[in-house]
Amino acid sequence: MRKFALAGNPNSGKTTLFNALTGSTAHVGNWPGVTVDKREGVYKRLAEHVAIVDLPGIYSLSPYTPEEVIARNFILEEKPDCVIDIVDATNLERNLYLTTQLLEIDVPVVVALNMCDVVKKNGDRIDAKKLEKELGVPVVAISALKGEGIKELMERSLKAASQGRQGRTVLEGSSLDHVIGDVTIALDGRGVQNPLFHAVKLVEGDELEVKEHPAEVATVKAFQKQSAGDLFGGDFEALVADARYKYITAHFAGAYERAKKKENLSRSDRADRVLTHRIWGIPIFLVILFAMFHLTFGTDFLYLNTITGWFNGGAGFAYDVDTGSEVLNSLVAVFFTADGISTPGAIVFNLMDFITSQIGNGIALGMEALDAAPWAQGLVNEGIWGGVASVLSFVPQILTLFLFISILEDSGYMARVAFILDRAFRKFGLSGRAFIPMIMGFGCSVPAAINTRTLADEKERAMTNRVIPFFTCGAKAPILAAICGAIAAEYTGVSADLLVFALYVFGMAMAVIMVAFMRQTTMRGEVAPFIMELPSYHAPQFHNLMVHLWDKLKHYIKKAFTIILASCIVLWFLQNFSWQWQMVGIEESILHDIGSFVTWLFTPLGFGLQLENGWVFAVAAVVGLIAKENVIAAFYIIAVGFGFAGAEQSEDGIAEVMYLISATGITWQGLIAYTVFNMLTVPCFAAAATVKAETPKGRFRYTVAFWLLTSYVTSCVVYVVLSWWWTAFIVAAVLAAVIALIVLRNKGLIGRKKRLLARN
Ligand code: GDP
Ligand code: MG
């Protein structure tokens, strides 16, 4: 099968084209650095099938960043039959810089002029024919997003692939022409493949080339000496770059005709003046985040009920509507509750709860009608359906949250977030590049951990991998939603959205604090510079959003009916049977014994021996290692063991937690500490395995120790401070002492002297 590679600048639309060609649902994000590894698919709409390889985005073919190395090696070593160079037509000159380098390789190149829909919308014009003549390779105008021009692109690529091509350079006729020519001939004589490409890179002083072809370095050195002073002071790398840009401006730039002086750009700029403001940038980000959580987890839309309550002597609106029919009443309750008008997230949550309850009732009735044995009824109603249903209840709500996150990402705002966070936290040792995988961690830690490959610095990578799980992922979100929902329901004056938001922000703050801490102690080092091109804002693409959500939904459903279902069944048996394999009450069950074994450990965290049946929380946290949603599923199954009548009281996740509060006597402080523990401790096995794979050999155990220690200590502090507010002073004093110690040590005022003494 022929192989075509997609190469181009970050954010030029490679993955969008890849998805359109192969029907995959790879992650498309409106910020650079999303694709970090190559990815393969098949295009089937030509006379023959063609393998398509999506490469990470690059600006150049130098071997400096991991992305460049992957793309360069692929093109040079795996020799695709054609390189489709995706060029963002709205950024023509900058994108063609890479094109001029690709042209130097002996490989067929076809230029795909992408984003032509935007060009048209701006009223600009681009002359593909003219560009084609100047470049000497086929140029096809396309819109990857709208699917325009794709067929033609592929047909022409196939044709180009069957013709082969010899490399050419735009440096012909420049002052470096001679030396490039000499080196090319020398390399060619030694049978080096792609001699022109290697010759140009050698002249640029590319490290890899210099190491590989020492004989030819001499030629370049000699030329450098003889021309020093005249030619950029002998800095040939700059000279080559300059020559490329000059050529692009002289020959290619004319293909783009602007309708008028750029007005659109300044609209992005004006938005950025506010959104990336030095002082207001972060507060605005927090407000946007809060709005997101309000619309997802809030039960009082825009706080209308609360606000009117202020004027009404606390009465608010009255939503008690009695339609006379039970089913209708529960439908009305989807949109209006005693809390107020439901937010979109609350509506989908209530709807899903309604649906899962109906299914649960149906299953229960069916089992009764079948006259099944009591244990079989229990297994099916509770072990199989109930646990899974309590997780499924949250799926629409979590998808709503993802919809908002995807909108922020696709609009281009998330790229700004990395930028403002970089500016704020650079002095603490974090770079904006490291925030990109962290923000991706809101979705799932697994792809986020893989994304850290683009971090060149080993230490930075290790630190980032450790704190990615602190950015609450979609699987942990149900834990927050259920526990915060229950606390809000039990205590007046607390709202679930505010609590969930606070916990998310707490997780992010912990990530920043722990990285800063490691930077000052075990992982000192310079922060890598952060250069990122900010994509211009655009309206989120409906199609992209749906692809994201669909992907997430599939992932959830698959997990619910495999890992979570299996865990539930095992849990159900463990909690209904004794070691002698007799059916018993929960107090004599195997699960009770296993859980009780470790309960004491969690006493300082507020969910240990001080509770009646405190073991249930330890058990739920442990099964959460398999998949974090299991925490909620386990709550359901255990609550049933204590007499929670699932089918009647609805298995919506929140009701179970409320039931467990009364069954164990856990305080709200204990519940918060428990949530924090789950957020910061070892992530699920899938995430842990990925982090392990991305961590140097033998160092993963330190990461595990980091997770265990951080979660235990933080959760303990949270519990103690929330329970006894004055302990905050002690914690503050200890923190101040630790900071002082670190500062003094880093200044060499303590510690080092001792070592000197020891040596004497
Ligand atoms: P990659 O980094 O090169 O893989 O780029 P992506 O495929 O992730 O796309 C980056 C952004 O450009 C996304 O927001 C896409 O929706 C958008 N995009 C890609 N192709 C087109 C296009 O043809 N027209 C428009 N208007 N937007 C596009
Ligand atoms: Mg991509």
- pTM (2 d.p.): 0.89
17 alpha carbon, closest ligand: 1
**Res 576: pLDDT:** 94
Judged by its nearest atom, the ligand closest to the C-alpha of residue 9 is: 1
| Span 678-703, average pLDDT | 95
* Count of residues making up the chain: 760
Query: Cα of 239 to ligand 1 centre, how many Å?
Result: 32
- Looking at residue 150, its pLDDT comes to 96
**Ligand with minimal distance to 36 CA:** 2
Q: Which atom of ligand 1 is nearest to the CA of 28?
A: 8
Residue identifier of the C-alpha nearest atom 24 of ligand 1: 115
**Long-range contacts of range 374-379, CB-CB < 8 Å, 24 or more positions apart?**
375/576, 375/583, 378/572, 378/576, 379/569, 379/572, 379/573
* Token couple for 494: 């607390």
**Cβ of residue 152 lying under 6 Å from some atom of ligand 1:** no
Reference 474, options 397, 408, 546, 390; nearest CA is 397
Q: What is the pLDDT of residues 289-307, one digit of tens each?
A: 999 999 999 999 999 888 8
Q: Examine the pLDDT at 503 and tell me if it is beyond 90.
A: yes
Tell me how far the alpha carbon of residue 415 lies from the centroid of ligand 1, in angstroms. 14
Residue 595 has pLDDT above 60, yes or no: yes
- For residue 169, how far is its CA from the centre of ligand 2 (angstroms)? 27
Q: pLDDT digits over 29-82, tens only? A: 777 777 777 889 999 999 899 999 999 999 999 888 888 888 999 999 999 999
Place of tokens 């995430």: 687
Is the sign of the CA dihedral 728, 731, 735, 737 positive or negative?
positive
- Mean of all residue pLDDT scores within the chain: 91
Ligand 1 atom index nearest CA of 16: 7
- Nearby residues for ligand 2 (ion, Cβ within 5 Å): 15, 34-35
Say yes or no: CB of residue 95 within 6 Å of ligand 1.
Answer: no
Evaluate: CB of 381 within 6 angstroms of ligand 1. Answer: no
> 125 has which bridge partners?
257
Give the tens place of pLDDT for each residue, 510-557: 999 999 999 999 888 888 888 888 888 889 989 889 988 999 999 999
Give, in order, the Cα–Cα distances in Å from 274 to each of 271, 352, 672. Answer: 6, 38, 35
717 alpha carbon, distance to own chain's centre: 29
**pLDDT at residue 35 in the model:** 74
Q: Which pLDDT score is estimated for 419?
A: 93
Q: Is the CB of 115 under 6 A from ligand 1?
A: yes
Residue nearest to atom 20 of ligand 1 (CA): 13
The CA-CA-CA angle for residues 240, 244, 249, to 5°, reads 150
Percent of the chain with pLDDT over 70: 96
What angle do helix axes 630-641 and 565-576 make, rounded to 10 degrees?
30
Token couple for 362: 């149906």
Say what the pLDDT of residue 650 is: 67
Angle (CA) 259-264-268 rounded to 5° is 160
pLDDT at 93: 93
Residue 120 CA to ligand 1 centre (angstroms): 16
Q: What is the pLDDT of residues 440-485, one digit of tens each?
A: 999 999 999 999 988 888 899 999 999 999 999 999 999 999 999 9
Structure tokens at 400: 């709503």
Query: Has residue 201 got a pLDDT over 90?
Result: yes
Distance 110 CA to ligand 2 centre (A): 19
Diameter of the chain by CA atoms?
98
Is the CB of 13 within 6 Å of ligand 1?
A: yes
| The two three-digit tokens of residue 499, written as one number | 């609590």
Q: What is the pLDDT of residue 760?
A: 44
Pocket residue to mutate for ligand 1, from 145, 406, 534, 547, most atoms within 8 A of Cβ: 145
Ligand 1, atom 19, lies closest to the CA of 13
Does 451 sit in the ligand 1 pocket, CB within 6 Å? no
* Burial (Cβ within 10 Å: 0-12, 13-18, ≥19) of residue 748: exposed
HEC string of 478-535 equals HHHHHHHHHHHHHCCCCCHHHHHHHHHHHHHHHHHHHHHHHHHCCCCCCCCCCCCCCC
* The ligand 1 atom nearest the CA atom of 412: 14
Rounded to the nearest angstrom, the distance between the alpha carbon of 740 and the centre of ligand 2 is: 44
Residue 105 backbone phi and psi in degrees, to 5: -90, 145
Q: Is the CB of 145 under 6 A from ligand 1?
A: yes
